Structure 1
């Protein structure tokens, strides 16, 4: 009889734990729809920023960046990361605009939660990985930058920083983007260590993140984040680590 009671208690405990995990799963999915990553210049929580500058203004109603960050994002060499776009000669303006937009998306968007991962570095504890970019955004980025010049495929690492800004490493040479990145996918995926993923999904389809959008029609990335949070595709394991108690993670 005691064995029967123990089995019954275990069954009840299993049901309770199952319901608890289900509730936490729902909370986890909801939490990623409006969050800022733990990184160098991001706010702790997203919120309105009516004075966002230039290409960052689409996020003014709900942003993870401050107005000062948005202004610095437009400078050729800002205090944000001391990064110089013109390391191989002057970057064409139409190409530079894509990198500004890329910076605005990274710094300001509260809709990247499904792709946030834990990361250990001196300037951030989290990063984005495999964010699905819309086909048009990626291909236009490549088209407008194909004749710009660079000396590196991965811009996250291995620069010469002895002068306080990024310089080409010894032994490298400046080449056109089309030589360093033969395809749009090469540019979008490799330049920031797979932060982005090239997709065949189209703008407005609700399945890819748009770098460019008209805020007058709302932020299309809200629906995209919701879709991936609910379907779990490429979603981030960091959410469970943040939300589940250690005892449940061990089960």
Structure 2
């Protein structure tokens, strides 16, 4: 009987730990990407635009440095595929890269990815209205040839070039609105919202160094999506059934 009680206690503790782990997975997680760390942690000194995440990041110092280069080893992606991108426009793409590589607050929007270079991606991350508008405003006079930057490039040279039949155009011709820019450029990774910064209902792609405003927003959406409750978590449901089955066997 004593051994049975110890076994039940062990099973119960496993259930509790698993429940906590699921919550951590949603609210504090690094996606399985090409350069992401396994777990978020303190970095101390991230580079320039990535600095706001230094207290708790999914990126390394080296990744943050590479994020600022025109053709970095991260993805060999060339921002200047239609001539030199202006600095004010490029700043947003660097912030976008830092957000993607460094943020531990994207859990509710992480999904499996069918790609050779990553196992997971983000879908429909709700960005604040200002983030999309400022990005669009600062890039509207720059040039590009594609609305979906995830795929369809000519990679024969090792870096992305415009494919045949895709002429360079102003950003405003390719992306007529801030919404089209945010939602189309990375094939649905981001969702344009009407919520403003500080509303508690949108994520900021970038913020001044200091307190990260995004964890509370992530928690809000995780609760809204039913990702924090045990009843809604298949992994925990399995543990509950296992616990009850074990209890039944031990009591018979």
Q: Same fold (TM over 0.5)?
A: yes
Residues 99 and 146 of structure 1, relative CA distance in 2, 3 Å threshold: same
- Alpha-carbon shift at residue 159 of structure 1 (Å): 0.2
TM-score where L is the length of structure 1 = 0.83
Moved runs in structure 1, 4+ residues, more than 4 A? 20-27, 239-248
For 1:68 and 1:152, the matched residues in 2 are separated by 29
**May I ask how many residue pairs the two structures share in their alignment?**
225
Tell me what 2:179 maps to. Answer: 185
1:45-194 aligned at under 5 Å gives the runs 45-194=39-188
Which among 171, 194, 199 is matched to residue 205 of structure 1? 199
Residues 138 and 96 of structure 1, relative CA distance in 2, 3 Å threshold: same
After superposition, give the CA deviation of every residue in 1:192-223 in whole Å (9 maximum; x if it has no partner): 0000000000101111010121232x100011
Residues 182 and 67 of structure 1, relative CA distance in 2, 3 Å threshold: same
Secondary structure of 2:191's match?
A: strand
Which among 184, 208, 222 is matched to residue 214 of structure 1? 208
Gaps of 5+ in 1: 1-19
Q: Is the 8 A contact 2:26 2:227 kept in 1?
A: no
- Alpha-carbon shift at residue 171 of structure 1 (Å): 1.1
Residues 73 and 36 of structure 1, relative CA distance in 2, 3 Å threshold: same
Q: Is the 8 A contact 1:35 1:112 kept in 2?
A: yes
For 1:151 and 1:42, the matched residues in 2 are separated by 29
After superposition, give the CA deviation of every residue in 1:82-122 in whole Å (9 maximum; x if it has no partner): 00000000001100000000000000000000100011211
Tell me what 1:14 maps to. Answer: none
- Alpha-carbon shift at residue 28 of structure 1 (Å): 2.9
After superposition, give the CA deviation of every residue in 1:141-180 in whole Å (9 maximum; x if it has no partner): 0000011100001000010000000000011100000000
Secondary structure of 1:197's match?
A: strand
Residues 183 and 233 of structure 1, relative CA distance in 2, 3 Å threshold: farther
- Alpha-carbon shift at residue 25 of structure 1 (Å): 6.8
Tell me what 1:225 maps to. Answer: 218
> Does 2:24 align with 1:42?
no
For 1:233 and 1:145, the matched residues in 2 are separated by 37
For 2:95 and 2:201, the matched residues in 1 are separated by 20
Q: Is the 8 A contact 2:67 2:97 kept in 1?
A: yes
Gaps of 5+ in 2: 1-13, 242-252
CA-based RMSD of the aligned residues comes to 2.5
For 1:142 and 1:207, the matched residues in 2 are separated by 21
